[in-house]
Structure 1
């Protein structure tokens, strides 16, 4: 009796992460909704980058459904409170979660990359962006192949199968380290690279700073990736007794994925932020204006020409975001 009461008092370790991820996902949904609204009104302007981020959001929804369903089945509570049959169901949800989670983060990065290609950038920068996009395409494909090859038969991933052959835990952890390091590097590239382009635009400094800050949300994903590297050490897919210790790792994966989705959609929040800043007294965003003094070529002398100078306004405009 005392043992049962002691177990029930331990509770779940899923509540703090559930609250934080729910808030972060609501923020990402908000930015996505504004993005789609701006892309279809007043004219329909959806492009490949919008469809890619929609696919990323769809994958993330599936991931969260699987994770919350596992939590509903008891994941987060001490393993002694979870029956073997329930544990099999939880592991099945984790397997499905893993297949889609890799695509959620990579598709979000690809969407950011296709957005960068809309800038007037040099060929060298375009090559770098295309290489980064190619890496993001290869990463989830490789991760899915890795998952499918871990155990033979494959159902040994979620169930106890006699004579099953699975890769050692250290090999799985090594792959996780490599994948996370590549992911962190990619997040830093996609978060920092836009700043090189944005600050070359002929726009007000406050506007360029705002767009840079919005796109720098990708740094949140990089921070999450660093925490992932730390918590991978607790991940042992061959030992269900450590299942409860994986919870922080699952949450940091979600922070990375949702942060990338928000970062991809954040630049489209700029018009709303501009209106808010305008109400607070900030200078309205306008196209940069360059004042040129032109000389009337019909005048013969320089004295006459200097008296007939006219002013011409040249508007430099960018539709990059």
Structure 2
């Protein structure tokens, strides 16, 4: 007869911490997501990035529900029966599959956001490579979890006769490699915005604010690093439940921070208004403007100086991009047969 397992006081504290962080960060992510949807609705410009972040947040809610079922027994100070542990292991498997899918959706949404800014071919290639790498990571994680034991029931019923499972050392290597890839992806997505924010012709406080909002992924990188460092302790740990709870907490931080990183840029106007009220100056306009006058539209030399004639026609192209950034170009067409250049005006408004 298999003996019962006692939940340690530290494991119970971690379970309470998991519930508390989820209760705080999940509604916060919902607020950020609603802010993003509101901005996109006003722009009437929903895209794939919005769909991915909504799917990722929906899957995050499913992950939280599964975790509540997985660790519900940890709130008891008494002993836990083997049947409860078996059910917890089964729910844990489902949680891993959903977590990998949610992380893929969220990071893909961040990549699609950055692709609206990054026009350089090399950076676009890097970002698409990140999507492919994240897809491969999520797929391999799901596949490995499903083939780790044969039959699959051996994951939560270890006494099945003839069952075969992958050696635990192989599991550690796989999870460590997967964690390292997640760290690389998080760092890439966090540092990529710096390549174009530095080139924006905007006031320094505004660029700093945008960099902070779009660099939230560094917190996800920190959580991923900490989680990867804990994985190596699985083999020697005498309290697997405690270590599992720690890994779950850091995994949730990755999901929540990733969701906020995908939505926070849309809160820039509101944050900027708040900072303006407390004294931060965003009023200095430093946008660049290049203007070339058409023949006949510049200052006249017939004594009517200072007056310019209007161009014959206009074509205005306005490209709305995510994070409240719009790039506008005004092209004044020349008359047929004219040898002059058309006037070009570029401005960047955030």
TM over 0.5: yes
More helix by share: 1
Aligned to 2:176: 177
SS at match of 1:317: strand
Give the deviation of 1:217 after TM superposition.
Answer: 0.7
Cα distance in 1 between the residues matched to 2:294 and 2:166: 80
Higher deviation after alignment, 243-252 or 44-53: 243-252
Match of 2:348 in 1: 317
* Counterpart contact for 1:290–1:314, Cα < 8 Å: no
Equivalent residue for 1:24? 25
Please state how far the C-alpha of 1:53 moved relative to its aligned partner. 0.7
Distance 2:100 2:225 in 1: 16
In structure 2, distance between residues paired with 1:142 and 1:8: 33
| Shift, 1:202, TM fit | 2.6
Q: TM-score, normalised by structure 1?
A: 0.85
In the other structure, the counterpart of 1:50 is: 50
Counterpart Cα distance in 1 of 2:196 and 2:290:
25
Which residue does 1:193 correspond to in 2? 192
Partners of 2:349 and 2:41 in 1: CA distance: 19
Q: Is the 8 A contact 2:32 2:264 kept in 1?
A: yes
CA distance in 2 between partners of 1:313 and 1:81 (Å): 75
In structure 2, the CA distance between the partners of 1:85 and 1:197, relative to structure 1 (3 Å rule), is same
- Name structure 2 gaps, 5 residues minimum: 309-342
Provide TM-score, normalisation by structure 2.
0.78
Shift of residue 230, structure 1, vs aligned partner: 1.6
- Give matches, 1:20-99, under 5 Å: 20-41=21-42, 43-72=43-72, 74-75=73-74, 81-99=79-97
Q: Distance in 2 between matches of 1:77 and 1:185?
A: 39
- Secondary structure at 2:71's aligned position in 1? helix
The RMSD of aligned alpha carbons is: 3.3
- CA 1:77–1:151 in 2, change beyond 3 Å: closer, same or farther? farther
CA contact (8 A) 1:111 1:264 kept: yes
How many Å apart are 1:91 and its aligned residue? 0.9
Match of 2:220 in 1: 221
Q: How does 1:236-251 map to 2 (within 5 A)?
A: 242-251=240-249
- Mapped contact 2:183–2:225 kept (Cα < 8 A): yes
Sort the Cα spacing of 1:11 and 1:296 in 2 relative to 1 into closer, same or farther, 3 A. closer
Distance 1:170 1:280, change over 3 A: same
Question: Residues of 2 paired with 1:193 and 1:243: CA distance?
Answer: 37
2:275 matches 1:277: yes
User: 1: distance between equivalents of 2:294 and 2:96?
Assistant: 69
The 1:143–1:81 alpha-carbon spacing in structure 2 relative to 1, beyond 3 Å, is same
1:283 CA drift (Å): 3.3
The answer to which structure, 1 or 2, has the higher relative contact order (CA under 8 A, 6+ apart) is 1
Aligned pair count reads 309
- Quick one: distance in 1 between partners of 2:9 and 2:29? 35
Contact 1:274 1:285 in 2 (8 A): no
Q: Which residue does 2:166 correspond to in 1?
A: 167
SS at match of 2:12: coil
2: distance between equivalents of 1:96 and 1:114? 28
Cα deviation, residue 24, structure 1: 2.5
Q: CA deviation at 1:29?
A: 1.9
- 1:103-133 CA deviation, whole Å, 9 max, x = no partner? 2222211111111111152111111111111
Q: Deviations over 1:109-160 (max 9, x none)?
A: 1111111111152111111111111111111111100001100000111223
| Counterparts of 2:240 and 2:10, CA distance in 1 | 16
Structure number with greater Rg is 2
Q: Deviations over 1:32-82 (max 9, x none)?
A: 1111111112x432110000011111111111111112222x13767x711
